[in-house]
Structure 1
Amino acid sequence: MPEYQLMARIEAAFDTQISAADQVITAVREENSPLWRLDGVSADSEWLSQALQDVWYQDGQDGRVTRPYLGVVAAGPTVIERVAALNAAKEQLAELFAELREKYPDQLAELKAILPFRHPGLNQHLRGDGLARLHLKQCWRRVPVAEAPVARVRFAWYSSGRSIQRVSVAECEALLMKLDTEAEHVRLQLKLLAGLPSDEILARIQPQAPLMRANLFYREPVMREDGELRTRRALNVSLPLFLPHDDLRLPALNQPSPTPPTERTRARRGDVRIEDTPFLKSLRVHRYR
């Protein structure tokens, strides 16, 4: 696809997403859907509007981090349909941006700066000559939806997540060589690495940000794609959770702390095979026991 055509499609897809979010909010207001916020503050459609239309960076915000809006909406069929349309619009926009990043990466920064001006009313950061930037992860993160009515939802923080990548000694050496090899701490780590067998496998660990997990308990068993029935489901949430309810009543809800715990909340597994102390601190690389 030519560059100008792809950029035009992205602009149109962004407009479609903003419009789809507006339609969700309008349907919630018309339906008078009950809303609930995890932080205990009274929830209303203005809060929901902010949650669904906050696609901007804040000053100093880490691009890997998204702002959470944790809560629940008990929704009728019209609202659920419009949420599905919003998620479809988000998916389309994500696909177009992926194509742009692959084919015309130099245009990415320009589009992220231009798109906010198409909807200046949504962005509180557009003041004077200030420029807002689109936060792509916040832009296309999906709105969570339960596929069937639930009797209760239990929220809980999951704060012990981490990604583990298996790496070889040679890969670690290559990564260290990209650092300042004149620095004492890098030379020390290269020396430590040289003392290992060349075929030893190491673990590179990346801590993950705390997540809010919603545990859904269905009113009736739900058929899975594999044909099995399930009575519950767990999913990570960072936006309001939409629950289909014919009677428009909120299910039973717990109210954990609105902020994640500062310490690990899950017990350490007894079969963990990775040493606690990093072997190569600069790379967050550990040895297996």
Structure 2
Amino acid sequence: MSDQPSPSAYRLLLQLEQQFDYLLETIEAAVSLYEQQQPPTWVFHQTTPTTHWLREALFDMWHEQDQDGRETRNYIAIVAANEELLTAIDAINQAKANFSELLQDIKKSFPGALSDAKSRLPKRHPHVDEVLRRNGLARLHLKQSWRQLPIAQAPVSRVRFAWYSSGRSIKRLTVQEAERKLIQLDTDAPHIRIQLRKLASIPSGEILAQVQTQAPLMRANLFFTEPLADGHTRRALNAAMPIFVPANGQRLPHINLPALQPPTTRTRARRRDEKLEHEVFLPSLRVYRYR
């Protein structure tokens, strides 16, 4: 039997449920408005988007069975929205931000209550039982629940989409940190012992790089009809969620048609100032040495 949350944790969980209910209400208000207005819309590789595609996209906040928790499903689209719809989308973003902030408070102050929150929140979804039966969805996907909906700052003349498939994150590690990570693995395994010996052969003060290759993502370049107040004429952003642009005469901006799948090979030349060695130094940790 699991421990009951403390009164303070319970209050935060209650606030979280209320904020989640409010988030669902803001989504319902926006998608209902969208379905009523049916504004000009472009959806990636859909000749004729279904009436309910936005509802499906914005209410998609659940893990599928066997889904990697780090992965999120993408909904690449452009919507030419009027002021009323833009205001409704902004309300969703505010609700998402507040929901995310509460989750972080719970994670920081009452980490044991987070799993309880995740099990309780799906029950707040008005159609969750039906969704679970139909699609085999499991639990709330936090990353998908709080990710923001991009809103263009000004009217847009054209949008250029392109796959970005060479992204990576780099975390600096000390030799001691790398050693601890290797020891947490199976030190009886020959390949781990080999890597520990390699690590022992380099200076103890050397800084290493742990590299995580990021999944391919779609990027969008928005070109504004006029320069913004700061002088910028375009903005680049990740296009995982629908992008809402101010309706410019009820027309969509010019949009290129990117490939259905990301390229299988690197399309950008390697940076000449790339500072990591080409060969991985500690394969089990994806750790490289700097040149």
Q: TM-score surpassing 0.5?
A: yes
Identity, in percent, stands at 48
Q: In 2, are the aligned partners of 1:68 and 1:239 still within 8 Å (CA)?
A: yes
Residue 118 of structure 2 corresponds to 112
RMSD, aligned α-carbons: 1.7
- Classify the secondary structure of the residue corresponding to 2:225: strand
Q: How far 1:122 moved relative to its partner?
A: 5.2
What does 1:1-289 align with in structure 2 at a 5 Å threshold? 2-121=8-127, 124-127=130-133, 132-224=138-230, 229-289=231-291
State how many pairs are aligned: 284
Change (3 A) 1:36 1:124: farther
**Letter paired with 2:148:** R
Q: In 2, are the aligned partners of 1:113 and 1:131 still within 8 Å (CA)?
A: no
1:109 and 1:174 map into 2 onto residues whose CA distance is 28
2:130 and 2:214 map into 1 onto residues whose CA distance is 29
Q: In 1, are the aligned partners of 2:42 and 2:78 still within 8 Å (CA)?
A: yes
**Letter paired with 1:233:** R
Q: In 2, are the aligned partners of 1:25 and 1:45 still within 8 Å (CA)?
A: no
**Letter paired with 2:268:** R
Deviations 1:105-157 (A, max 9, x none): 222222212222222415654229x7731000000000111010000000011
The normalised TM-score by structure 2 is 0.93
Deviations 1:18-60 (A, max 9, x none): 1111111122223221111112342133011101110000011
1:21 and 1:180 map into 2 onto residues whose CA distance is 47
2:63 and 2:192 map into 1 onto residues whose CA distance is 34
Q: In 2, are the aligned partners of 1:75 and 1:243 still within 8 Å (CA)?
A: yes
Deviations 1:236-268 (A, max 9, x none): 121111011142211100111233222222211
Change (3 A) 1:123 1:142: farther
1:265 and 1:27 map into 2 onto residues whose CA distance is 40
Unaligned residue ranges in structure 2 (runs of 5+): 1-6
1:110 and 1:241 map into 2 onto residues whose CA distance is 33
The normalised TM-score by structure 1 is 0.93
Q: In 2, are the aligned partners of 1:31 and 1:76 still within 8 Å (CA)?
A: no
2:121 and 2:215 map into 1 onto residues whose CA distance is 28
**Letter paired with 1:161:** G
Q: How far 1:223 moved relative to its partner?
A: 1.4
1:70 and 1:203 map into 2 onto residues whose CA distance is 33
Deviations 1:202-241 (A, max 9, x none): 21111111111110000010113xxxx0111101121111
Change (3 A) 1:83 1:131: closer
1:174 and 1:4 map into 2 onto residues whose CA distance is 37
1:208 and 1:80 map into 2 onto residues whose CA distance is 31
2:117 and 2:215 map into 1 onto residues whose CA distance is 28
Most deviating of 21-30 and 78-87 = 21-30
Deviations 1:170-198 (A, max 9, x none): 22112212221111111100111111112
- Classify the secondary structure of the residue corresponding to 2:203: coil
- Classify the secondary structure of the residue corresponding to 2:233: strand
Q: In 1, are the aligned partners of 2:80 and 2:244 still within 8 Å (CA)?
A: yes
**Letter paired with 2:287:** V
- Classify the secondary structure of the residue corresponding to 2:288: strand
- Classify the secondary structure of the residue corresponding to 2:132: coil
1:149 and 1:17 map into 2 onto residues whose CA distance is 27
Most deviating of 93-102 and 104-113 = 104-113
